[in-house]
A and B are shown apart, each in its own frame.
Chain A
């Protein structure tokens, strides 16, 4: 019988969560998930003064929750405590990193200038010295045309010819940085006999706002998104995202951390690879593949993918493609955790967390690392010599 949220009374203090915490192993300033989560919560419930700002070192990867034998929502306890008790207000840098929508809109308009200047040494030095954004980081390039703009100009008109329809939650990364993945998604869905629509209104899922403490804004965006999702579902279109983190955030973080109720539509928010793999598995749709496709890929399970428990769908989907050899990397955090790794104070932690993964990738030397998460892509491309692709892009390239 639980009287508190997040199942925290089920904690036996067995410490298994701490074993699998990527931060505790490399950053002793972080007290580890058991202490920061259920143990600390017992104290905080007594007296809020027991809140410890070191909880900011939590990546919110949720690997503690996946490891917990008693289903305690340790990560949620930690994030909820930060929301409830933290006195620290986000500064300019955190606001900029968190506001992916605003930054993206400005940057895509001036993409060539922004891309060129973000790569310049003096700019990097200012970002590093003044803004505390680590100079080792390469900013993801901004696209000169947003995905939404491309879609409306070149794809939208053709979508009505398909009997079955889905809505696409493209997310900030596809919209501002990598429209190609969105184009690949449209191509795959069309090949499966599905038309693709945009949501009436789409805001950034808010994951970066949550991790940077901008909770009110995150909540407002969540409400806009869920209202759009609801309308889409009522009109018979399930909502599909390509990013494991956007999908996870909308399904689980909205109700657990932001108090935004999505119970009526949660099951209609799906991940692209899961939707496609289930469709192919059911025999209701078929894809025609090229016969000359040869690729060796290593699949990396992103943290929120691990938490959703859906890596098997992406792996099976890749195995479904003739000519693709799939190696599965041991599931571990790559260290970036969204905006976390961009912050100067987190850079060494971020790289230490990922180091064994990078080593493994260099040993395997696959043609591509494949993952469902865009920030893992940045981290792995920055830290290894291997390019990273999304499973949907691999699938699109293999189509006839």
Chain B
């Protein structure tokens, strides 16, 4: 009884300040050929029981600074969690397991916005294939998600149901993901537990003024803008060039959306 009381007290006083968090660094490779060619980005996943923050860094120096602080965790310093709508250098995707909500912040025409992608479901197919990554025994799982087929390696040795980007809901941490076309790839490069941070993870984006919109609305707006841009480009072609066909193809991570499929069915 006394023990229990103590532990509650302990919990109340200490827990909000020194939560125990899982820290994972990922390397995200994009092989879609554009002017930029293939490129790599670093990302950090910070997770507690029901919440994860997955932050992609566009500014590598910033990533390195955080990574360095975490490595020397024995010193007193703790690092800031990227919950505020601090965009330009990084973008944070918050996954809230309780009500299955995903929100992510980015710059839209130079203005910070938060996009909500709620109710995302991964229909994982588990395989009996296993492999060892470092010391972790990993199990293979596959999923068809928004037009791409992904192969995922997760480890039950780290019993959380988080992963990079939007991936979640496997019985273990996701260490590697790639799609069958090898255009997108995520690999864990560093795992640390526990780490301490100076405040609890925010359940939603906070900070500066920003607009919140659903992914569906955002995409609709983007698509309208893209079509207009494409028309503009085509109209600038020199004389003699013929436009036989012009399609605006989505070469991003997500190719089709559930609601588009629903609309197709209706038609």
Q: Do A and B associate with each other?
A: no
Chain A positions near chain B (C-beta within 8 angstroms):
none
Chain B positions near chain A (C-beta within 8 angstroms):
none
